[in-house]
Structure 1
Amino acid sequence: MTNQVLLDPSNSSDEDCCPDESLFAIYHSRAAATRNFIGALPIELLLAIFTHLYRSSRRLTQTGEIWRLDDPLSSLFPYAPAAVCSMWCSALSCVPEFWTRVVIRVDSQHTQSRDVRRYFEWSRNLHLDVIITRHHDEFDGDDKREGSKVFKATRELVRHIERCRSIRFNVMYSSSLPSILHDFHQEAAPHLHTLKLKCKVDDGGSPHRKLVHWRFDAPGLRHLYLDARNFFDVCVDRNNWLRRLPNLNSLSVSRYRHLSEKGIDLYKLLRAVEESPSLAYLELKDLHFSRLRPWTTVNDISIDLISMNLEDLSGEAFSEIIGYVDSAPDATRISRCAITTCHHSLISGGVAFHDLSADQDLMIPLAHWRGRTLSLVNCACFHDDFLRDMIDELYLINCTKFSPRLLKTMVLKRRKLARRSIFWRHDQETLDWTFPIVAPITLISVEGGPVLSKKDREWFDKNLGSFHWDEQVLHSPFEDSDDSDHDIRGGE
Structure 2
Amino acid sequence: MFPTEILLTIFKIVYMQNREEVMDEREFYFSSSSLVPEIVGKYKCIWRRDEELRYPCLFPYNIASVCAKWRATAASVPAFWTRVVFFLDSGPEGSSLVDLQHQLQWSRDLPLEITLGRMNLGDNFMYDMGEAARVRSAMELLLPHISRWHMFYISTIRSSSLPVILKELRGTSPILKILRLECEGDDADDDLNVYGRDVFICPALHNFDIDGANFLRLRNAYGGEWVTQLVPQLEYLSVSVLSPAEEEEGNGGEGETDGERVSGAEEKEGINRPEKGRLNLDMFLGEVAKLTSLRQLILKSIIFNDILLLGIHEIHHFSPTLDTLVLEDLSVSALLSILFDCNYPGLTTLKLARCPLDAMPEGFLPDIPCLVLQDLAPTVNVMEIVDRWHGMGLEIVGCPTFDDTVLKRLSVPGVGVSIEELAIIDCTNFSVSVLQKMVESRLPWAWPMQILKVTGEGPAMTDDERAWFGNHVAEFSYEVVLADPERLT
TM-score by length of 1: 0.72
Q: Which amino acid aligns with 1:85?
A: C
Deviation per residue, 1:376-418 (Å, 9 max, x gap): 2222223526545324334444253589679958976x78xxx
Q: Which amino acid aligns with 1:400?
A: N
Deviation per residue, 1:112-156 (Å, 9 max, x gap): 333322221221111111222211535833111110110111122
Q: Give, in angstroms, the shift of residue 445 of structure 1.
A: 5.7
Cα distance in 1 for partners of 2:76, 2:461 equals 62
Q: Unpaired segments of 5 or more residues in structure 2?
A: 25-43, 247-274, 484-489
The aligned runs of 1:276-355 (5 Å cut-off) are 276-291=291-306, 293-294=308-309, 299-304=315-320, 305-323=322-340, 324-343=342-361, 344-355=364-375
Give 1:374's match in structure 2, choosing from 394, 397, 407: 394
Q: Give, in angstroms, the shift of residue 66 of structure 1.
A: 0.9
Report what 2:31 is aligned to.
none
The 8 Å contact of residues 94 and 119 in structure 2, kept in 1 or not, is answered as no
The aligned runs of 1:143-182 (5 Å cut-off) are 143-182=128-167
Give 1:142's match in structure 2, choosing from 127, 133, 154: 127
The aligned runs of 1:77-226 (5 Å cut-off) are 77-108=59-90, 109-137=93-121, 140-185=125-170, 187-204=171-188, 208-210=192-194, 215-226=199-210
Distance 1:129 1:295, change over 3 A: farther
Q: Give, in angstroms, the shift of residue 468 of structure 1.
A: 5.7
Tell me the C-alpha RMSD between the 2 structures.
3.6
Give 2:242's match in structure 1, choosing from 256, 262, 271: 256
Distance 1:362 1:93, change over 3 A: same
Cα distance in 1 for partners of 2:149, 2:475 equals 47
Distance 1:118 1:295, change over 3 A: farther
Give 1:246's match in structure 2, choosing from 232, 254, 273: 232
Q: Which amino acid aligns with 1:54?
A: Y
**Larger relative contact order (Cα-Cα within 8 Å, sequence gap ≥ 6):** 1
Q: Give, in angstroms, the shift of residue 196 of structure 1.
A: 0.7
Where 1:114 maps in the other structure, the secondary structure is helix
Q: Give, in angstroms, the shift of residue 461 of structure 1.
A: 8.8
Q: Report how many aligned residue pairs link the two structures.
A: 413
- Percent identity, aligned pairs only, is 29
Where 2:192 maps in the other structure, the secondary structure is coil
Q: Which amino acid aligns with 1:300?
A: H
Cα distance in 2 for partners of 1:404, 1:286 equals 38
Q: Which has the larger radius of gyration?
A: 1
Cα distance in 2 for partners of 1:92, 1:114 equals 17
Where 2:134 maps in the other structure, the secondary structure is helix
Report what 1:390 is aligned to.
416
Cα distance in 1 for partners of 2:333, 2:400 equals 21
